[in-house]
Structure 1
């Protein structure tokens, strides 16, 4: 059961055990809430005799007190078993995803857009968090507690119990059928939502180009269509959900009417007592309530499987692995008959061989799109080559742990990535424990000092998201300063 929960809801071992405890906690809480029915049943038996013995008053006072205490304890147990454990597990889930993404090859990110991954880490995790703390425990707990109560009813009167229980298989059959339908509907809704998110993100990233080319209106037309598609499919999803949920809830409510009808017939025929009739009416009015509440979140519980599948796609993807203590001899980089393609059938490199010797500058010169950037990416193992071998100091890069391999490189990319932080901290990324003096020395080597000193707050100037406050050349020099600060034995410069 634990393994099934781990796979189905993207849980850790601890999280799966916590969910089982949540099932137990909700079940206990639902059963404890039936205790007042027992007290009412006992009170009704005395009222039918037109007397309540004085010695029984103490029993009722103690019973009410104990019931209230048990309700408080069970509610507290339920809270700790659902909410607290779920929030801890949610943090573990996000950290696990982030750690996994850190170890995946860039080829994985080439197949996924940023909006999709962001949605998985943020929205999908939040949805699973809500499902784990509310919907799933409540649904499972309601099913277990209702089943136990039904079993107990058969010991009182099997005829009345049948009148109460017949609605449950019918309601669950409706739920089972809705799983297939709602799964397909939700999958389409997710597809349109991701397309909309991707469109919004694309617009934010390219807003300057859109405005400068008078394409903003055209872009908004396309975005509005995507938003309307999301709206349409969300409405369809809600109507479909409402149809199934309302049908199941209506069937459950028929159980109360059936109990009243069957009970009335049996009572008139003298086959049950008034007290038994009253007891069954009390029980069924309370028994169906947890299920009816849980059914309101039926669509979310069903659709959560799609969100978990998207998350599992990340967690199950093969990581790049290798030796953490490579025994490379020097730092010569050798490409030996290397071939590579980003997509099947679209060869980018074919039979490439060359040696970049330690202590020398090796320059690759050629037209745009000739594969120069690809060579640097393969050397750093951002992608794994399809054929041939690439070695650093005699060691195949495919046999070196990616993080250990990257420790050998200082890399300057064509597309510079800067953070919304100070100049000082953006350069310090090259070496997190570097002193201010070391940062300034690296900046001087990269010819950054002159323009930094002209900034309002000099080294403490905030440069905006991705260095929006700097020019293209200034951003490039910050990147070069990082590479100098890292002081790795090999420098890869992928510049225009």
Structure 2
């Protein structure tokens, strides 16, 4: 990421809190001004004592002391109050920026091709959206009030010293150039070292995630020793690198820690000289010494801010990858469709979009020159060996990806001309891996139609044959599904997903291996669920269980990304050797199964 681009990125999310940020800066400046007031008050009190006024006019002296004491207190209270307000506003702004960044990333992921999203490891998505973005908050919330105060306070103190005596002002900052030179020397390799540190940190995090996620496999195959050794080596390597970096900077850090605060090295001898030759009074000398000490703390904090700024930069750099994901082209105006037939017009597609213009594009394609028409209200099935392109066809209809070449039409309209939201409303997609959110089953089903009443949800659940098992749960429809639906079996999750699709009531239904997790006892229930879902719809089914689709109006046999043959079950048994081999293999597998499958999917139709 180019220098300072991260700052523009962060500020681009600050539109709604810009006024809060401006007020935070103003309050920080008032706080700094309030912080200088006690110095002025102390100076005046010192002058009062040294002028001998306690002896000449006690009442006036006490009144003056009380006045300046009140001024000091007022200045200190002003500093605290406005610093608190500035910090509060800065935190509000920081969390608003974080919220906007996360919402924008989530929105971008929703609009990006599904393949782009699936290519991202789940651990990385979580790390960036949750953890990396969160690292921005602390420095961002404190950089505004504290950064400004730590910059303005030394400037204000230096100006006040200039007002007393310019020579003392220069003497007070004599250690700053020395420290700055040493800091610049130490910062020569900071960017490189920080980049290596982040790379090492990301690696050890990936090893930890891999170890935790794969612990079941590690235990099952008794690989705990070798896997733990990799885990241990990664952590040890990260520790060694971090310590090596820190050791290489300790000398400079200690030198700066010793030199920068030593303002008295300049002000004490200079002050003595000026006092002896009569250029400074005792009060002025005392005040200059006090003020010079006030420069130290703000300046030393800048070393912390350098690291904070770098942390923000790298967090924004990671987030920027998601913020700039290429979006699917989206239309704004809805198109009225009068039919819902599906047509593939010479469609080719590769998961590697970079190969779209390659002369060998067809060789690298998941689909190649597919021409297909599915009539409205019919039951079509896709079959073929693994990797033949069945699921790709289904996902392209829902526009999870855009085709590389050719067109997909619904009702005669290119789906690229349909708004994504309209297309999503038209298609119900039920897969073998049905994700349930960790909320109530009622709300999980209601995702199909957020406006549906409880009665409509229950009606859909009954149609999907899941009302019975839901009511047998301790909390019925208010039972939480658990993380990713972990509290339910595979077949139960599938029926919940079908209930969700029934509630959606879309004119096009795609079932991608929807019976994959079904046991024989629940096969009949699932078939009834699917029958309710698909009644009167344009139905496309992908299945390995050929017995479930033998009554389809049309069966499309795919091989190596192409359509090998289409026809009915009987026609394909006679005219397609690939389908015949698959059918015979399927029948043979059924004979060896522990329990025979019940029924065909005539209910699909």
TM-score norm. by structure 2 comes to: 0.73
Structure 2 CA distance, aligned partners of 1:397 and 1:166? 70
Out of 233-242 and 160-169, give the one that drifted further. Answer: 233-242
Distance change (3 Å), C-alpha of 1:69 and 1:395: farther
Structure 2 CA distance, aligned partners of 1:251 and 1:353? 78
2:75 paired residue number: 70
1:298 paired residue number: 306
What secondary structure does 1:259 align onto? helix
Residues 8-41 of structure 1: per-residue CA shift (max 9 Å, x gap)? 5564124455334433433332332222221222
Residues 160-196 of structure 1: per-residue CA shift (max 9 Å, x gap)? 2221223334444555565563333333333333334
Structure 2 CA distance, aligned partners of 1:430 and 1:328? 21
Q: Does 1:423 align with 2:445?
A: no
- The residue correspondences of 1:71-470 to structure 2 (distance < 5 A) are 71-102=76-107, 103-105=110-112, 106-175=114-183, 181-236=189-244, 238-239=246-247, 245-329=253-337, 330-343=339-352, 344-345=354-355, 346-452=364-470, 454-470=472-488
Structure 2 CA distance, aligned partners of 1:67 and 1:139? 24
Structure 2 CA distance, aligned partners of 1:136 and 1:474? 52
| RCO higher in structure (CA 8 A, sep ≥6) | 1
Residues 287-319 of structure 1: per-residue CA shift (max 9 Å, x gap)? 222222343443223332111222233333343
> How well do the aligned residues superpose, as a CA RMSD in angstroms?
3.0
| Residue pair 1:331, 1:392 contacting (<8 A) in 2 also | yes
What secondary structure does 2:330 align onto? coil
Give structure 2 stretches of 5+ with no counterpart.
356-363, 517-605
2:541 paired residue number: none
What secondary structure does 1:354 align onto? strand
| Residue pair 1:335, 1:354 contacting (<8 A) in 2 also | yes
Structure 2 CA distance, aligned partners of 1:442 and 1:368? 33
Higher-Rg structure is: 2
Residues 214-252 of structure 1: per-residue CA shift (max 9 Å, x gap)? 334443333333333443444455556765554444332
Shift of 1:417: 0.7
Structure 1 CA distance, aligned partners of 2:253 and 2:309? 12
Distance change (3 Å), C-alpha of 1:4 and 1:212: closer
Out of 343-352 and 400-409, give the one that drifted further. Answer: 343-352
Out of 21-30 and 253-262, give the one that drifted further. Answer: 21-30
1:46 paired residue number: 48
Structure 2 CA distance, aligned partners of 1:167 and 1:91? 40
| Residue pair 1:23, 1:141 contacting (<8 A) in 2 also | no
Count of matched residue positions in the alignment of Structure 1 and Structure 2: 495
Distance change (3 Å), C-alpha of 1:469 and 1:72: same
| Residue pair 2:430, 2:510 contacting (<8 A) in 1 also | yes
What secondary structure does 2:301 align onto? helix
Structure 1 CA distance, aligned partners of 2:99 and 2:349? 33
2:575 paired residue number: none
Distance change (3 Å), C-alpha of 1:91 and 1:17: closer
| Residue pair 1:135, 1:297 contacting (<8 A) in 2 also | yes
Shift of 1:412: 0.6
Shift of 1:285: 0.7
Shift of 1:322: 1.9
2:571 paired residue number: none
Shift of 1:111: 4.2
Residues 256-304 of structure 1: per-residue CA shift (max 9 Å, x gap)? 3111122223333444333332221011111222222343443223332
What secondary structure does 2:502 align onto? helix
What secondary structure does 2:314 align onto? helix
Out of 471-480 and 312-321, give the one that drifted further. Answer: 312-321
Structure 1 CA distance, aligned partners of 2:135 and 2:185? 23
Structure 1 CA distance, aligned partners of 2:115 and 2:188? 33
What secondary structure does 2:262 align onto? helix
Distance change (3 Å), C-alpha of 1:41 and 1:450: closer
